[in-house]
Amino acid sequence: MDFSRIRPTDVQVGQSLPWDVYDERGLLLLSRGQQVMGEAQLQRLLEIGVFAETAALERTRSAPKKPDRLTIGSARPPSVLCMLDLVRRKLDQLALNLAPLVEQKALTAAVGELAAAVENGSRCDPDVSIAMVLLRQEGRYATRHMVNVAIVVRLVAISMGLPPEQVRSMVCAALTMNLTMITLQEVLQQQTDPLSPTQREALERHPADAVALLRRAGVDDPLWLDAVLHHHEHLDGSGYPAKLTGPAITSGGQLLALADLFCARVTQRAYRAAVASNVALRGILLERGKGIDPVLAGHFIKTLGVYPPGLMVRLANGEIGVVAKHGSKANCPIVASLIGPRGAPLSLVLRRDTSVDLYTIRETVDPREFSTYVRLDAVWGDTARLAEA
């Protein structure tokens, strides 16, 4: 592959890069779609000398210059971060106005609209969608958790090759699985004491309660209803509410259960710290052993990766960064380094291929020890910008 040096006129601050950027050794620094966030960063890039594929550079140099401001009809991709944040806020409002939606039989349409937004967002940029689950844990836990589960469910369902109508049913199930226990979930999120008998009873009853509510609202989709009803059942019969075993538990229920457990474990709770996403996934699969369909487990690992996007890691050279996307090997993702070996923030977000010995992953980093706020757009570009404007 032939490379040429990038000129000052090739890059504009605040606009998405049209090609990957490499250093003089051919190591990836910035990916296509990322932005140079300021003049100081641009100057630093030009000082160290950066390169792009010659053919790609020539295409952009010969293309008509774009206007300084975005115009109607521009090709700027939508912000997945904004799309999914809006779903969280709309689900919050739906939960607050649940009674009239059920009475008016309007819940199916309202949930379907949110499901479509989840599908659009995770289709635009799966990496940003997964990273948002791990890195953006603001807002009310109960509704945020259902949106997070919906994201994971949708991506795994696509990996499984489910037809579009079944994918939609599963996303709707994720968005409604806990509608009858939102208040209890908010209490449990902050509670450090063991569950009371009353809380335990309500917890174990909530899948059946949710299905009863959905039926009252006019939902009659069996895949949707069964997934909600079965999402706390375990193949060995230790689950609830009906202690089902083996094939009595639907595949939709198993998928929803696995996504629910993963998203819960990577979230900070009052009584325990969040678990690193790769550790959470490994722990779930190991502890359940033969209790998980191996085909489903395989799709789950394939979708999230050994090191999911958004996971904080420390590299062999001492840098700390965030997993940006899958790499050439399952256990060698591309990492965006944010903190240098001596603990100082890097002036550039540097792309590191962890298949290179110098940048292999040494360990995961506890998010509580990571004081730097991760700007998702600095790692993933336009699809992770904070606002549509």
pLDDT tens-digit series, residues 183-212? 998 888 888 899 999 999 999 999 999 999
For residue 363, pLDDT beyond 70: yes
88: three-class secondary structure by DSSP: helix
pLDDT of residue 368: 66
This prediction has a pTM of 0.81
- pLDDT tens digit string along 77-107? 889 999 999 999 999 999 999 999 999 999 9
In order of 192, 201, 290, 292, the CA distances from 236 in angstroms are 28, 20, 9, 10
- Domain 80-304, architecture per CATH: Orthogonal Bundle (1.10)
> What confidence tier does 270 reach under pLDDT thresholds 50, 70, 90?
low
Residue 77 and residue 68: Cα distance in Å, rounded?
17
99, 273 contact by CB (below 8 A): no
Radius of gyration of the chain from Cα atoms?
A: 23
| Predicted pLDDT of residue 216 | 97
Determine the average pLDDT of the residues in 211-235.
96
Total H helices, total E strands in the chain: 15, 9
Model pLDDT for residues 318-351, shown as the tens digit of each residue: 999 999 999 988 889 999 999 999 988 887 888 9
Least confident of 3-17, 38-52, 249-263: 38-52
In the chain, % of residues over pLDDT 70: 90
Segment among 7-16, 64-73, 260-269 with least mean pLDDT: 64-73
At 35, give phi and psi (nearest 5°). -120, 145
Q: How confident is the model at residue 73 (pLDDT cuts 50, 70, 90)?
A: very low
Which sequence spans correspond to the domains of the chain?
A: 3-62, 80-304, 312-373
For residue 128, the one-letter residue type is V
CB 258, CB 284: distance < 8 Å: yes
Cα gap 255→292, rounded to integer Å = 10
Mean pLDDT value of segment 259-275? 78
For residue 211, the model assigns a pLDDT of 98
pLDDT in tens, 103-120: 999 999 999 999 999 999
Report, as an integer, the average pLDDT of 143-152. 97
Confirm if 366 and 273 have CB atoms less than 8 A apart.
yes
Q: Write out pLDDT tens, residues 19-72.
A: 888 888 887 888 787 777 666 677 778 777 888 999 888 888 888 755 444 444
User: What average pLDDT does the structure give for the chain?
Assistant: 87
User: What is the per-residue pLDDT for 74?
Assistant: 46
- Please check the confidence at residue 225 and state whether its pLDDT lies above 70: yes
Mean pLDDT of 293-312: 87
